[in-house]
Structure 1
Amino acid sequence: MNQQKNELALLFNSSEFVITFELVPSRSTRTRQYKDIINFISKVSKENLPIKVFTITDNAGGNPTLTPSVLGNDLKTMGFIPIVHFSCKDKNRNAIESELLALDRNELHNLLIMTGDYPRYGFFGKAKPVFDLDAISLLYLITEIEKGIELPSWVPGGGIKLAPIPFYKGAIVNPFKTLSAELFWQYVKFYRKFKAKAYFFITQVGFHPQGFADFIGIIKLGFTRLFAEYLQDPSIYNPEDDKKLKELPILAGLFYVNEKIARIFKNNNIPGIYFRDDFYNILDPIDSLAKFMYLVKELGYKGVHLCGLPLKLEKFQQLLEKFNNYLAKKPELDKLFGSSPKNQGVSQPYSLYEVFNRNKKENPVSSQIFRYKLYNVLHYLFFSKTSPIYPQLKKLALFIDHHERIKNFFTRTEYFFKKLLFNCQECGDCFLPEVAYLCPQSQCAKFLVNGPCGGSWNGYCEVYPRKKICVYVRAYERLKKAKKLNQVFKISFVPPRNWTLYKTSSWLNFYLDRDHHFYLTK
């Protein structure tokens, strides 16, 4: 896209420390909450306060609310820059594309892309989770829309190239995790989102000074260089990517927290939000928020993304006053936040060994390394194009595919064994090799194939806390024991599931170039 013409891009490329403010739409424009939002925005405009950008949540917490485009139109009319949160939880890929076209019609081009919270409430019970795409595949879709999608000749109205749409998209990163397994995957997903052309990033909310310092420090010191050293794989190092990452606008996600909200966070009722133990006793919510604003500015973040702040002008003015006081006094960061044997200040990391071993608990799962190695050998022998028997197996697959009775028997036999071994869901588009031979379709509540969401806690799935270990935590343990963690950096994108292949043989689809592996080799 032409970023030179986008107002948000120009702001991010300026020298200004950017303050964005998150708004949560109500269930209707008829509610008092919506009127309070409009009233607050009007006051910000009249007082000429340093908020130029508002972001609008998309069914936050998995609960239904007003679609963010409605409030986005109001914000634009009132002279502000809206960023529309766009999640994957409620819409399949066709509905996503339709909504993107509608946003273009309303000239709402600034998007914050996320996988989304698992649905919690709906009409007559919980809504069905969709997650047809994840955040990374959605970023790739929008990147194609920015260039202009070429419609195949066989679709209605096809055979043409659609006009490019100038979206300006950002993404979320969560560098606040208690396990090395979780933290590693969050850095992997950050890099994959960057490769998918996310133009800016906002961190998940985290009350952990060292987490903020580690994340920005790794980028400053050279993201791919440090991971190449950590994983002992020089091929990961990409100087051009490191240079671009250093120029990437990154905002720190911060939350206004009083004692009541702190208790909610402590009980892990808000997936993905991490609190350092000694931050639960919030004495002055405004002062705590101002301290973190000062911290991230000193660390080199482009700005802050304020969440949960009451819609009261005096609260925001108090926050600005305290923040400016810290800027004037320039207190030392270590003294401002305190230090302990578990958190020696907020200096930038020297190496990834430090980062992944600092304050990280033991992962609550065994690696099952023997099973992984066995599957790896079998996969190479039967499902690798470099296998000595691959040509013969491809010919056999062609034969089976042309004989319906044999194909049906072959498919039933395949799924009998895969159901026993992997709880196979018969998707016909097998993702086992990308997730250390663990099935994301049966073992991830959101069916994610490009890495985990940001909502896991202590290794447990966001949807099944304290009951089910995140499948990507299990994958990390297998790959780490096998010294194969570098492999996940070799994959920039796993295409979404192809529903045409449902209940067909994934083995035949592999040999006949019908599954997602065909796109990975293009």
Structure 2
Amino acid sequence: DYPVDGFSGQAQPVFDTDSVGLLELIRRMNEGLRVTLPGRRNAETELGHTAFHPGAAVNPFKLYEGEYLTQLYKMDFKLRTGAKWLVSQIGYDARKHHELIRYLNLKHGEEAPPILGSIFVLSAPAARFFGRWGIPGVAVNSELVEVANRAAKSKDRGRAFFYEFAAKLIAGLRGTGYSGVYLSGRLTYKRIEQILDIAESITGDGWKDAAAEIGYSQPDEFYLFEPGDSTNTASDELNREYDARRGRPASFVRRALHPDFAYRIGRFGKHAIFDHDAPAFNASAAIYRQIDKSKIATKVAHAAEQMMKVPLYGCRDCGDCSLPEIAELCPESQCVKNQRNGPCGGTRAGKCEILDKDCIYLRAYNTLKLYGEEEDMLNHPVTFTDASLKGTASWANTFLKRDHYAKE
């Protein structure tokens, strides 16, 4: 049971908005959200201004280049949309933590937002649970599970070890520029005090020695920056191999040999027809205005669209198409969460946290990289799906400016 009207279109029963959409809603609430009065479609009123101070999460603990960088692109999207501070998800790799600071300084300079490091104070059972991927987005590798199991053989079941381990990570985060930490786990106030006291005892350059012990990454994991002078830290120099090819299109032959025929068809259609400034957009819009006058013609055009889009893209007939924004991959049929504003943080080794298939944003990154366009893949306004368009022709909605593109 959900309302007929929602924010930026009719609401959906589940997955109505994502984290970026929520930030956009909060931003507009802070500015004074304008809403349509019930029963009076053309009458609006402005609600009182709120004073939320929104933050956002980011997960840098990813194996593949595209899996990692799309997390950073989404972090930037969240900051553009109104996030004022950041918090990392849970992982035990000091170098990846440091890379977040390096990236924020590179992209935002003095305007970089404050960031908190998320630390779960481990126990052996928790490490084993996380190691089996019990919680999507939490990174605990097999090596750390073994360390935790060995520590648990002590008389205190590893409690002293795990407290010191958390304290060393706190010291490493403090030394690399984090504004604070978010501690979680089975903690009491006294236990938190113990951990913080240990962290405070690590002074001067001691944080470097502490960070050197927190390096539990995945085999062959991608790093965006070259290693720092100290173990498990990052320099301010971009990964040389990555930097040499980023933003540079692959050769024409390599692009032509790309196996995704559906993408090439969609790319042509986007640039030639469907973009609002495409050469054939106005002519197509004129045709669809005539089609829209006839119920029969509308049904025929809709059926023709589905005959193409269902076999090529797995179209679910949402009526508010996002294919052009995700390298011609359908978020309705190929993403369990229907993510339209970037990936969630739950992938592991590029795979969806729910289904055993590659994340559509990793696939989109790898496709767009062939054209040197990967860095711009999330440079679009916040997308909200209008559920009232479900079951209608998305081509018609684009040309007649009924879908989310018309609101951008």
TM norm structure 2: 0.83
Matched, 1:346 2:252: no
- The equivalent residue for 1:508 is 396
Task: Write the distance in 2 (CA, Å) between the matches of 1:217 and 1:391.
Answer: 45
**What is the aligned partner in structure 2 of residue 297 from structure 1?**
174
Number of corresponding residues: 369
2:137 touches 2:346 (CA, 8 Å); kept in 1?
yes
- For residues 190 and 304 of structure 2, what CA distance do their matches in structure 1 show? 68
Deviations along 1:284-322, one digit per CA (max 9) or x if unpaired, are 1111100000000000100000111x2434322321221
Give the secondary structure class of the aligned counterpart of 2:303: helix
Q: Distance in 2 between matches of 1:334 and 1:195?
A: 34
What's 1:326 paired with? Answer: 202
Aligned equivalents of 1:449, 1:518: Cα separation in 2 = 16
The verdict on how the C-alpha distance between 1:387 and 1:171 changes in structure 2, with shifts beyond 3 A counting, is closer
Alpha-carbon contact 1:250-1:303 (below 8 Å) kept:
yes
User: Distance in 2 between the 1:194 and 1:91 partners?
Assistant: 29
| Deviation of 1:346 (Å) | 2.8
User: In 2, distance between residues paired with 1:339 and 1:146?
Assistant: 40
Residue 175 (1) aligns with residue 51 (2): no
Helix, strand or coil: the match of 2:54? strand
Aligned pairs for 1:324-473 (under 5 A) are: 324-327=200-203, 330=206, 332-333=208-209, 336-337=212-213, 345-353=231-239, 368-464=259-355, 467-473=356-362
* Contact 1:183-1:356 at 8 Å conserved across structures: no
Where 2:174 maps in the other structure, the secondary structure is helix
The alpha-carbon deviation at position 510 of structure 1 amounts to 0.4
Q: List structure 1 segments (4+ residues) > 4 angstroms apart after TM superposition.
A: 90-97, 153-158, 338-344, 354-357
- Superposed CA offset, 1:29-63 (max 9, x none): xxxxxxxxxxxxxxxxxxxxxxxxxxxxxxxxxxx
RMSD value, Cα: 2.9
Gaps of 5+ in 1: 1-89, 98-127, 224-240, 358-365
Equivalent position SS for 1:172? strand
Q: Matched residue of 2:366: which SS?
A: helix
Higher relative contact order (CA 8 A, sep 6+): 2
1:85-132 CA-partner distances (Å, limit 9, x unpaired): xxxxx98897999xxxxxxxxxxxxxxxxxxxxxxxxxxxxxx98111
SS at 2:181 equivalent: strand
Q: How does 1:482-497 map to 2 (within 5 A)?
A: 482-491=371-380, 493-497=381-385
Aligned to 1:83: none
Conserved 8 A contact 1:204-1:273: yes
Matches within 5 A, 1:87-486: 130-152=14-36, 155-156=39-40, 158-220=43-105, 222-223=106-107, 241-245=108-112, 248-280=113-145, 281-282=147-148, 283=151, 284-308=161-185, 310-327=186-203, 330=206, 332-333=208-209, 336-337=212-213, 345-353=231-239, 368-464=259-355, 467-486=356-375
Judged with a 3 Å threshold, the aligned counterparts in structure 2 of structure 1 residues 335 and 212 are, in CA distance, closer, same or farther, namely closer
> Is the 8 Å Cα contact of residues 172 and 203 (structure 1) preserved in structure 2?
yes
* Secondary structure at the counterpart of residue 119 of structure 2: strand
Percent identity of paired positions between Structure 1 and Structure 2: 28
| Corresponding letter in the other structure for 1:377 | F
**Contact 1:369–1:481 under 8 Å retained in 2:** no
What is the CA distance between 1:367 and its match in structure 2? Answer: 6.3
Whether the 8 Å CA contact 1:349–1:355 is kept in 2: the answer is: no
Q: How far apart, CA to CA, are the structure 2 residues paired with 1:471 and 1:278?
A: 29
**Preserved contact between residue 271 and residue 454 of structure 1 (Cα < 8 Å):** yes
Deviation of residue 370 (structure 1)?
Answer: 4.7
2:4 and 2:162 map into 1 onto residues whose CA distance is 41
SS in 2 for 1:152: strand
**More off after superposition, 375-384 vs 475-484:** 375-384
Answer yes or no: is the 8 Å Cα contact 1:151–1:159 preserved in 2.
Answer: yes
CA contact (8 A) 1:333 1:346 kept: no
Cα distance in 1 between the residues matched to 2:93 and 2:5? 39
